[in-house]
Chains A and B, each alone.
Chain A
Amino acid sequence: MTANDLLTARDAAPDGPASGATAPPASPSTRARRKKWKGRLVLNIALSIGALTMILPFVWMVLTSLKSPAELAEFPPTFLPKVWEWSNYPEALRAAPFALYFRNSFIISASHTIITLVFASMAGYALARINFKGREFIFLGFVAMLMIPTYTKIVPQFLLVKFMPLFGGNDILGQGGFGWLNSWWALIIPGGLSATAIFLFRQFYLSLPRELEEAARLDGLGDFRIYAQIYTPLIKPALATVALLTFQESWNNFLWPLLVTTRDDLRVIQVGLAVFQQLDGTAWQYLMAGTTMATVPMVLLFLFCQKYFIQGFTNAGIK
């Protein structure tokens, strides 16, 4: 079943499939409906069990954050706290300037998301829809770049940041100063784009039918406008997905911000949370409280992006 058939079928029957016209007799229909209801129930139960296993660790994390050290030491361990130590949260917040860290993480994550949404979608579209020389090579190159572990790249990346010419006291050859260290540049630019996002966009653009492009070209639209006005609005779910994933990856990033900043006012959330994990002992209740607070914004963001996932296939580009 090609996209062509699909479009032809739609255009032929704009009111939807023919099932409405040929309604089956009452009895099998009722049976079918009951079967559907039973099926739905089973589905809901199965999903609930699955969801429970996914949520359980999160629940444990929250419950741990509300216990006292004495209770955490108990054996056998309790599930619900005996005394709900809500004070753990303000105490955790006092342990480090988390409001500042939140703000910093937010700025960095939002910047990464915007940069990625713009440039990765452009690149993804070009790789999917425009036939230019070297396209395969570039695409495979992007994917290959994902295959080197972070710890290997981190030192050369650090050096690139430090020796950035004409910044932070460096001369044109990058000598003498600090380059981008301890600046927003270092926090925002290097992590701004990821090959994963480009890859994802490419796949989504590929899944759209070619006919839209052909129709648009007949209208005289150039490549860029086809990208911006026709294709991209159709992949809102992909945009939401990439935005979510990029934001979340930035939000949870720890090592890079730790390495390129020495000043406390540029610290990010994950680095801040590490204060609860000292070598000789972990303050579990505070660490879990901090992690819970760091996770909540991500959950909210996810809920916010939900509505962009619910979007059917629209053929706004076809007259």
Chain B
Amino acid sequence: MTQLDNRATEVVAVAGRQPRKPPVRRGRNKGRMGLIMVAPAVLHIGLWTAIPVLATLALSFTDYDIFDLPAWIGIENYVEIFSDPVFRQATWNTLVYTFWTVPASMAIAMIIAVALNQNLKLRTWFRTAFFLPQVTATVAIAMVWLWIYNPQQGLLNAALSIVGIPGQAWLADPAWSLPAVILVGAWQGIGIKMLIYIAALQNVDESLYEAASVDGASTIRKFFAITVPMLKPATFFVLIISIIGAFQVFDQIYVLTDGGPANATTMMTYEVYRSAFQNFEMGMASAQSVVLFVLLLAMTLIGRRVTKGDDE
């Protein structure tokens, strides 16, 4: 091995162990404890996530097919991405998917969480029911929806035929396949959001509502004037995590549609997977991931502005 290789490996072994912390403010004991408390997390994530992420960034400028060493090709991958109609379709699909699943499931989850915060007898069972999709492996969920969407044997068309609406070939028709996938995504995403909101609602003081009732506020008014503002930190979290999650949708696509029909439901992560593990083009996969990352970062910052960055 060359000297460079030796050095590089040394760096690999040691680099992850160096926390990326700026120097502590003098005389402020407070700051130091903060750094200490955050250090294990920084070390762990620095090693296991940050290094792979940086490696991805570096590899995105190479042509790397795993059999030979990476060859530097500059921004060629990116140029190719921008002229690839399939990736453009994937990007658009990802944005559409995010746009529809995130607000819908967030709103539904918040309402259900508030509803389940009441003292209903069946509360525990309701919560379990709503959380069930989250707890079952996505692959299993997707298979169940395959049955629901089946044009001949499926539940959806059977139900629609009772009402007299003609059934569609939900997953095979390019016009309906993306909405079908969106529905599954929104449906599955409700559980975890509901859970977060329920947990957050525990911290909202009952007396606030009671005081508002005395003032004659209606349920709706109480919801918007008390609940929603008190849930701001939770909403911020749910929004960001949902956007990130929506951008990274993969299992549903893999099982339900394989990106089809004719790339109608392909997503950015799916294209990354194809590049990496079907085409053996790691450099391209890395570049696509970087594009995904940049887009996601932009969406997150927008999301932060939408919640007025008021997460404190």
Q: Do these two chains really belong together in a complex?
A: yes
Using a CB–CB cutoff of 8 Å, the interface residues on chain A facing chain B are: 1, 6, 9-10, 13, 16-19, 40, 43-44, 46-48, 50-58, 60-61, 75-77, 119-120, 122-123, 125-127, 130-135, 137-138, 141-153, 155-157, 160, 163, 165, 172-175, 189-190, 192-193, 195-196, 198-200, 203-204, 206-208, 222-224, 227, 234-235, 237-238, 240-241, 244-245, 248, 252, 254, 270, 273, 287-288, 291, 294-295, 298-299, 302-303, 306, 309-313
Residue among A9, A76, A190, A237 with max Cβ neighbours from chain B (10 Å):
A237
Contact A119 B30 (CB under 8 A): no
CB-defined contacts of B248 to chain A, threshold 8 Å: 149-150
Q: Are B144 and A195 in contact (CB under 8 A)?
A: no
A–B Cβ pairs within 8 angstroms, 12 of them: A54-B130, A126-B38, A132-B35, A133-B23, A141-B50, A147-B300, A196-B241, A199-B240, A241-B195, A254-B137, A287-B143, A313-B202
Q: Are A40 and B34 in contact (CB under 8 A)?
A: no
Contact present for B41 and A198 (CB under 8 Å) = yes
Contact B289 A313 (CB under 8 A): no
Can you name the residue of chain B whose Cβ is closest to the Cβ of A241?
B199
Asked if A313 contacts B147 (CB within 8 A), the reply is no
| Closest beta carbon of chain A to B312's beta carbon, Å | 6
- Contacts A122-B41, A137-B22, A151-B273 given; 18 further ones with Cβ under 8 A? A1-B226, A6-B207, A60-B148, A123-B42, A125-B37, A126-B37, A132-B31, A134-B21, A144-B297, A145-B45, A147-B244, A150-B250, A160-B52, A175-B9, A199-B240, A235-B203, A241-B195, A299-B132
* Residue B282 is within 8 A (CB to CB) of chain A in the complex: yes
Is A152 a contact partner of B118 (Cβ separation < 8 A)? no
Q: Which residues of A contact B22 (CB under 8 A)?
A: 133-134, 137
Which B residues between 145 and 174 are near A, CB-CB below 8 angstroms?
Answer: 145, 147-148, 152-153, 155
- Main SS class of interface, A: helix
State whether A130 touches B233 (Cβ < 8 A): no
Output the nearest chain B residue to A118 by Cβ-Cβ distance: B40
The reply on B272 being an interface residue by CB < 8 A is: yes
Are A145 and B211 within 8 A (Cβ)?
Answer: no
| A to B contact number (C-beta, < 8 Å) | 319
Task: Give the complex CA separation of A237 and B234 in angstroms.
Answer: 13
Question: Known contacts A141-B50, A302-B131; is A120 also within 8 Å of B207 by CB?
Answer: no
Shortest beta-carbon distance from A235 to chain B in Å:
8
Q: Say which residue of A57, A150, A237, A241 sits within 8 Å of B141 (CB atoms).
A: A57
B265 within 8 A of A: no
Question: In the docked arrangement, what's the CA distance between A6 and B28, Å?
Answer: 31
- Which residues of chain B are within 8 angstroms of A132 by Cβ–Cβ distance? 24-25, 28, 30-32, 34-35, 38
B71 interfacial by beta-carbon distance below 8 Å? no
Residues of B within 8 A of A134 (CB): 21-22, 35
How far apart sit A203 and B233, CA to CA, in the bound complex (Å)? Answer: 5
Contact B52 A127 (CB under 8 A): no
A57 CB contacts on chain B under 8 angstroms = 133, 136, 141, 144-145, 148
**Of the residues A56, A123, A206, A245, contact of B38 by C-beta under 8 Å:** A123
- Tell me whether A76 and B30 are in contact (CB under 8 A): no
Q: How far is A195 from B241 in the complex, measured between Cα atoms in Å?
A: 10
Q: B178 in the interface, Cβ–Cβ < 8 Å? A: no
Contacts of B240 in A (CB 8 A): 143, 199
B118 nearest CB across to chain A (Å): 7
Q: Which residues of A contact B32 (CB under 8 A)?
A: 132
Question: Which residue of the partner chain, among B33, B40, B130, B198, contacts A223 with CB atoms under 8 Å?
Answer: B33
Contact B210 A19 (CB under 8 A): yes
- Contact between A291 and B127 (Cβ–Cβ < 8 Å)? no
Contact A6 B205 (CB under 8 A): yes
The interface bits of chain B over 50-85 (1 if a CB of A lies within 8 angstroms of the residue's CB, else 0) are 111101100000000000000000000000000000
Q: Is there contact, CB below 8 Å, between A294 and B47?
A: no
The reply to whether A6 and B51 form a contact with Cβ atoms under 8 Å apart is: no
B296 interface residue, CB < 8 Å from A? yes
- Chain B min CB distance to A70 (Å): 15
Given contacts A75-B153, A163-B12, contact A204 B199 (CB under 8 A): yes
Q: Are A10 and B52 in contact (CB under 8 A)?
A: no
Determine if B285 is an interface residue (Cβ-Cβ < 8 Å).
Answer: yes
B220 at the interface (CB under 8 A from A): no
Chain A nearest Cβ from B225, distance in angstroms: 9
Q: A51-B129, A200-B237 are contacts. A294–B49 as well, Cβ < 8 Å?
A: no
Shortest distance from the beta carbon of B200 to any chain A beta carbon, whole Å? 7
Chain B residues 101-147 with CB under 8 Å of chain A are 112, 115-116, 118, 120, 122, 124-141, 143-145, 147
Report B-chain residues with C-beta under 8 Å of the C-beta of A47: 112, 115-116, 120, 122, 126
B30 lies within 8 A of A248 (CB): no
Q: Are B200 and A207 in contact (CB under 8 A)?
A: yes
Complex interface: chain B residues within 8 A of A122 (CB): 37-38, 40-41
The 7 closest A-B pairs by CB, nearest first: A130-B34, A237-B199, A123-B41, A156-B52, A132-B34, A51-B129, A57-B144
B37, A224: Cβ atoms under 8 Å?
A: yes
* Whole-angstrom distance between the Cβ of A205 and the nearest chain B Cβ: 9
Candidates A6, A130, A147, A310; contact of B297 at CB < 8 Å = A147
Q: Which listed residue, B56, B205, B285, B286, touches A10 by the CB 8 Å rule?
A: B205
Docked-complex contact A147 and B136, CB < 8 angstroms:
no
| Docked-complex contact B12 and A123, CB < 8 angstroms | no
Give bound CA distance, A171 to B138, whole Å.
40
Asked if residues A43 and B118 are in contact (CB atoms below 8 Å), the reply is: yes
User: Do the beta carbons of A151 and B144 come within 8 Å of each other?
Assistant: no
Nearest-CB distance from B27 to chain A (Å)? 13
Query: Smallest CB-CB separation from A52: which chain B residue?
Result: B129
